[in-house]
Structure 1
Amino acid sequence: MRTRSTATFPPAAVPTRAATRTRLAAAASVVGIRQVNGLLPNNRIGIEAGRALIAAIMAAGGPTPAGTAVTPVRSGGVRGEWVRAAGVRHGDRAIYYLHGSGYVVCSAKTHRGLAARLSKATGLPVFVVDYRLAPEHPFPAAADDAAAGYRWLLEHGYRASDLVIGGDSAGCHLTLDLLLQNAIAGTEQPAGAFMFSPLLDPTLTLAERRDRVLPDPMAPARTGRRLIELYTAAEPADSPRLRLTIPAGTALPPLFVQASAGEMLADDARQLRDMAATAGVACELELWPGRIHVFQALPLLVPEAGPALRRAAGFVTSALAQSDSTRRKRVG
């Protein structure tokens, strides 16, 4: 199902039924990965086991394509890596990517395969920031690192209008926070932002309601909440940096959101779309059939990953073209 507030590029048909392989992957995950994640203790051993498990899933379901070029970045407090698909060169434009993790697991390396496929689909280099993880680094470490990565790109020759930000899960929360902080500070916004399976409510209240009706294949909502609380720590749940809202008239770039219709964060995606529409921000939401969280990262398990990623690439191309057009009109 595809819903929208303001069109940003030509629509495409979204399948109404998940592929057999997608349904089988979800069913197997409910009795496998979900159960394991639900049993992991919320201590150092459990966290390390969870990190290893998710890394293995990402590597198996979405390996890095052959020929991918990876360039590590260590610059002041900024850590990350440039990822370029075979044949893609550095230029004036780029994607800035904020990986998901529940703020506790994953890294630039776990998302290298997804970044490489984004690079191939868009023809652009992708910079994936390696923000600090909890519990070693609680709030606002990840948000500070996300902002530092964006400033680093601007300081190294990229115009904001030549950048598109992307993220998945908790990385979407970081993306929206960055955009809102840009608006407050008067920092120039990127040309657009795309989000896969966005986390909007760190308390996972909406997610828990859905999880009770239809168990999420990846993990119980309570497990996700425990992870996020390692990051939010002593910060109040209603903190404006955690409970993100888009005030009316906020100058944000166009947003593009995808989620699985049956996943735990589907209602977060809907709420983000509705909040953006109320604030007058262009936001397109695509709900793809299935139940796999961030399915775009797992093309070997979920056949819909490829078409969905091409849709995201189409948004990137369109957002940059619109940004170009706007800049030419200002100059003219």
Structure 2
Amino acid sequence: MPSSRIESGEAVGVCRTHRGGSVRSRVVRGAVRTLARPVIGAWMARPDLAWPLTLVDDAASLLPKPPGAQYVDVDLGSCRAEWIRAEGRSTRRAVLYLHGGAFLMCGLNTHRSLAVALSDHADGPVLSVDYRMLPKAPIAHAVDDAVRGYEWLCDKGYRGDEIVIAGDSAGGYLAFMTALAIAESDLPRPAGIVALSPLIDLDARRRAEFDVQASCPMFPGAAVQSLVRYIEGTHTLLTVDGEPGPLLCPLDNDLSVLPPVMIHAGHDELLRSDAESMSDAVREAGVPCELHLWRHQVHAFPIFAGSVPESRRAIAESGRFVRAVTEPWPRRAVPRLEAVA
């Protein structure tokens, strides 16, 4: 796995390319290309249709919850969340998790296995947030819901330096925007950010050429541009405080306020350019960043942590990062799982 160490001002970055191509990852890659890619292409052609996107999480709800973990339902007021702790893991740190799904679908059920795996490797519980989504709510409301989740963790006794914000795909975007929103508030800064195949740039005119050059098994070359145009159109119909819902990009903000960052992406996936652009911008802002690129992996591949070796390794790397950025100074006790229900 070739790697390089990059220094920018006071920031140190690691860029590492991991080998891939296990039998199971190739099976997943083939299934995604055969099943998911045509559906995404059909959505691109007619995003205005009433696609039953909620069925994705509804179908996942029929699956049994992964064994070896505790689950507690949480009411954040504006949305639901789930407090998850893998068996035998501590409560001295916590992860705020924001699921992917293009701001349109997925939820607690589709991402429960990933949350359990992350709790296991991070040695701490995960608060998975079922934030409000398009087309009923603007993305700004999803950020508000994520901040509510962060406030909930603080209210339960966690310090900022004991909390890492994480997310995949659209949830990766939300992880960065949530950290930026926290920086503008009186809340303590989080210890770190983990972004898995993050969607970063919501400007259709600014999308990198890699979008059309990538040999992504999941997305056709214009998929992200189609999604961004859909988001832009939807936001003109949604209001926040009487104004059209704001559509912001993490790259257009002061990134020097961010904590240390870890980013994972597939080597040939469509959003690799987003991962690289964000990694470069974070380091240029003076913030430490690790970028991990994984060969022969699909978009948001860590979601398959229960069955694909490379996915498990990516979650293990993420857990290592979470433990490293939250490791003690002298540590005081924080609530047990039962106490925060």
In the superposition, the TM-score normalised over structure 1's length comes to: 0.83
Aligned mates of 1:120, 1:8 — CA distance in 2: 29
Residue ranges of structure 2 left out of the alignment (5+ in a row):
333-341
Report 1:64-143 matches (<5 A): 64-88=65-89, 91-143=91-143
Relative distance call for 1:98 and 1:217 in structure 2 (3 A) is same
8 Å contact 2:100–2:168 — kept in the other structure? yes
1:245 and 2:252 correspond:
yes
Decide whether aligned partners of structure 1 residues 17 and 68 sit closer, same or farther in structure 2, where only a CA change above 3 A counts.
closer
Aligned residue for 1:127, secondary structure, equals: strand
Contact 1:108/1:130 (CA < 8 Å) preserved in 2?
yes
Among candidates 308, 320, 327, match of residue 314 of structure 1: 320
Residue 151 of structure 2 is aligned to residue 148 of structure 1: no
Shift of 1:14: 5.1
Kindly provide the CA deviation profile for residues 188-221 of structure 1, in whole angstroms up to 9, marking residues without a partner as x.
Answer: 2111111100111023567673342234222335
CA shift for structure 1 position 224: 4.2
Match of 1:18 in 2: 21
Distance 1:253 1:10, change over 3 A: closer
Alpha-carbon distance between aligned partners in 2 of 1:65 and 1:13, rounded to the nearest angstrom: 31
Q: Supply the distance in 2 between the matched residues of 1:269 and 1:58 (Cα, whole angstroms).
A: 30
Q: 1:52 to 1:207 in 2, by over 3 A?
A: farther
Q: Which amino acid aligns with 1:85?
A: A
Q: 1:131-157: CA deviations, max 9, x gaps?
A: 001101123211111122112221232
Change (3 A) 1:266 1:161: same
Higher strand share: 2
Deviates further, 296-305 or 312-321: 296-305
Alpha-carbon distance between aligned partners in 2 of 1:67 and 1:98, rounded to the nearest angstrom: 22
SS in structure 2 at match of 1:195: strand
RMSD: 3.4
State the one-letter code of the partner of 2:87: A
Alpha-carbon distance change, 301 to 30 in structure 1, aligned in 2, over 3 angstroms: farther
* Counterparts in 2 of 1:231 and 1:315: CA distance versus 1, 3 Å: same
Within a 5 Å distance, the mapping from 1:267-306 to structure 2 comes to 267-299=273-305, 302-306=308-312
SS of the aligned residue for 1:129 comes to strand
Give the direction of change, closer, same or farther, for the CA distance of 1:223–1:97 in structure 2 (3 Å limit): same
**Shift in Å, 1:252:** 1.7
Per-residue deviation, 1:230:
4.8
1:221-256 deviation digits (Å, cap 9, x = unpaired): 54444445554412899x6733533436x2221001
Q: Which whole-Å deviations, capped at 9, do the CAs of 1:276-319 have from their partners, x for residues lacking one? A: 11110111101111240111111356320111111111101100
Counterpart contact for 2:100–2:172, Cα < 8 Å: yes
Residue of structure 2 equivalent to 1:325: 329
SS of structure 1 residue aligned to 2:25: helix
Partner Cα separation in structure 2 for residue 267 and residue 54 of structure 1: 28
Aligned length: 320
SS in structure 1 opposite 2:167? strand
User: What's the CA shift string for 1:108-162, capped at 9, x where partnerless?
Assistant: 2211110001111122110011100110112321111112211222123221111
Contact 2:202–2:249 (CA under 8 A) maintained in structure 1: yes
Give the Cα–Cα distance (whole angstroms) in 1 for the partners of residues 301 and 6 of structure 2. Answer: 23
State the partner residue of 1:30. 33
- C-alpha separation in 2, matches of 1:9 and 1:278: 10
Residue pair 1:2, 1:287 contacting (<8 A) in 2 also: no
The answer on whether the counterparts of 2:261 and 2:288 sit within 8 Å (CA) in structure 1 is: yes
Gaps of 5+ in 1: none
SS in 2 for 1:32: helix
Q: How far apart in 2 are the matches of 1:279 and 1:161?
A: 20
Letter in 2 for 1:45: A
Contact 1:170 1:198 (8 Å CA) reproduced? yes
Change over 3 Å in CA distance of 1:295–1:120 after alignment to 2: same
Tell me by how many angstroms 1:174 deviates. Answer: 1.1
Residue 267 of structure 2 is aligned to residue 261 of structure 1:
yes
Mean Cα displacement is larger for which, 251-260 or 197-206? Answer: 197-206
TM-score normalised by the chain length of structure 2: 0.81
Identity of aligned residues (%): 32
1:195 matched to 2:195: yes
The 1:171/1:78 distance shift into structure 2, 3 A limit, reads: same
